[in-house]
Amino acid sequence: MRLLFLGDIVGRPGRNAVTERLPGLRDRWRLDCVVINGENSAGGFGINEAICDEILAAGADAITLGNHSWDQRETLVFIERQPRLLRPVNYPQGTPGRGANLIDTRSGHRVLVVNVMGRLYMDPLDDPFAAVDRELETCPMGQVADAVIIDVHAEATSEKEAMGHYFDGRASLVVGTHTHVPTADHRVLSGGTAYMSDAGMCGDYDSVLGMQKEESIRRFIQKTPGARMEPALGEGTLSGIAVETDDRTGLARRVAAVRLGPNLEETWPRFWD
């Protein structure tokens, strides 16, 4: 299978990068499944239903969230009727929505997508390791799912790496989100799971993590209240990771970083060209 995971969409530049590029990439790379983190897609804070529908229509099979899941209050309602929008699986019992789902892809494969949030320097949610364990036990790769993608929305690289190794051999891809900066450690772990500490963001990199530079810098210098943070409005760059799996096992065979757009050096899976 050919999998593509794209990092946090930040505002309109990130949405434009996805909607303009993704349809062509699905055809060019013959992608089986695309998962995108959309937790900053609505003006940098959360997601709304119209944007969710826009991202799915552009070619995403599933959308994951994170610590900004509920910044748009309407998400608490529409997430219940949108099974392809996932919030972290380790939210307390009774939280609206779902944290994992077995997605039927256009190519006829079944992909388990799990969204989980770390606890280091983040909200103190339930144990992320145990929460994902439960999902993998009920939907094991190679038996129920053809592939498994785990989005670890976390601040600490150590926590992301620990989860990568812990789930090595039981998932096709463990990928980090949240820090908005693509890391250079994409690789296939010893047990056959593709890993990357952070997929980066889909947004304007002439910014501070996708937000306008001026207010971000002012807050560091003055430490006083100011204007509302707004997304930078330059051209967006598409950032993420591409994975090719073994159809028999679901484990990763090849992996490559994806960066398409200005400000960063472009790279893509040349083994698919």
Which residue ranges are tagged as binding site? 8, 39-40, 67, 153, 178, 180
Assess whether 68 carries a catalytic annotation: yes
CA dihedral 129, 135, 141, 144 (to 10 degrees): 170
Active-site choice (68, 109, 165, 186): 68
Any idea of the CA torsion for 38, 43, 49, 52, to the nearest 10 degrees?
A: -30
Find the DSSP H helices in 30-156.
Answer: 49-58, 75-78, 128-138
- What does the chain come to in residues? 273
Cα 155 → chain centroid = 14
Inter-CA distances, 24 with 50, 57, 98, 183, Å = 22, 13, 30, 25
Q: What DSSP assignment string belongs to 231-258? A: B--S--BEEEEEEEE-TTT--EEEEEEE
Could you give the CA distance from residue 215 to residue 245 in angstroms, rounded to a whole number? 43
- By the 10 Å C-beta count (0-12 exposed, 13-18 middle, 19+ buried), 10 is classed as buried
User: What b/e sequence results for 109-144 when a residue is b if at least 16 CB atoms lie within 10 Å of its CB, and e otherwise?
Assistant: bebbbbbbbbbeebeebbebeebbeebbeebebeee
Residues that are catalytic = 68
